[in-house]
Amino acid sequence: MDALDYFSHPGYSQSDLKAALDCPLTLYEFKHKGGRGKIPPTPAMLEGTMLHSLILEPEEYIKTYAPCAPRNTKAGKEQAKELEALGMIPITQAQADKNTDILLRVRQHPTVSKLLSQGQAEVSLFDIDQATGLQVKGRLDWLNGDTIIDLKTVGFGKAEPTEFAKQVANFKYHLQAAHYLELAKANQFIFIAISREFPYQIATYELDDFAIHEGQRLRRNALNLIASCEESGEWPGYTSDVQSLSLPNWAYST
């Protein structure tokens, strides 16, 4: 399915569920008022999108990105305009060389190359949550049989096990894993973590049962919360009244 068709589908995605748990009003503004499209992607997000295309859909990468001469030169500006007129995204030669280096390391990684040796990229799935009647959806990076592979690009040192576990908790990747496993009726969910910074370290991880169960709990809480908001027509924000606030424990002298 085309990405635009997927994103226009009214089903609730894993990112919608995360937004609901943070604040129902945030989800309402993002999903039902078009607010998500008003937030410009960060450079890290843009690079992550490019690397996803490079690794999972190399043919699309070639059609979408092209190296360009420096755009602080007349020739570079003209070349960039020509590429953009063709619907392509100009990138620097340094970025193109970096991408080639990362792709080579991915293909030489014994576990990753095996995981991506067969399967399908960008698989869109849809279902109805039986408990709430809500439409749900997901777009898997890669589906290999009954194994879901999810690619995460991270900063320097963040592919290390302890650091990546922190990111799983902070960004609720365990909720995403639980959501996708339920949608695909799959048996395994594997993360491929790739550092965007040299030496482009690569690691693969699978969450233990405790993490998956916590993700399932969060997913259920989010769906129940969304169903309640849809039924009442109320999408509460962080607070409507003045609340007492204390400092986190680390902020106090010991």
Residues 25-57 pLDDT 10s = 999 999 999 877 778 889 999 999 999 999 999
CA distances from 117 to 8, 48, 180, 200, 246 (A): 30, 21, 21, 21, 52
Residue 115 has a pLDDT of: 97
| CATH 3.90.320.10 is right for the domain spanning 1-32+109-230 | yes
The rounded mean pLDDT for the chain is 95
pTM above 0.85, yes or no: yes
Per the listing, tokens 């370290």 go with: 201
Query: Which residues of the chain are under the pLDDT cut of 50?
Result: none
Those residues with Cβ within 8 angstroms of residue 206's Cβ, 6 or more apart along the chain or in another chain:
188, 189, 190, 191
Task: Compute how many other C-beta atoms are within 10 angstroms of the C-beta atom of residue 234.
Answer: 11
pLDDT of res. 112: 98
Residue 253 pLDDT: 87
Query: In the chain, where are the structural domains located?
Result: 1-32+109-230, 41-108
Q: What's the pLDDT at 153?
A: 96
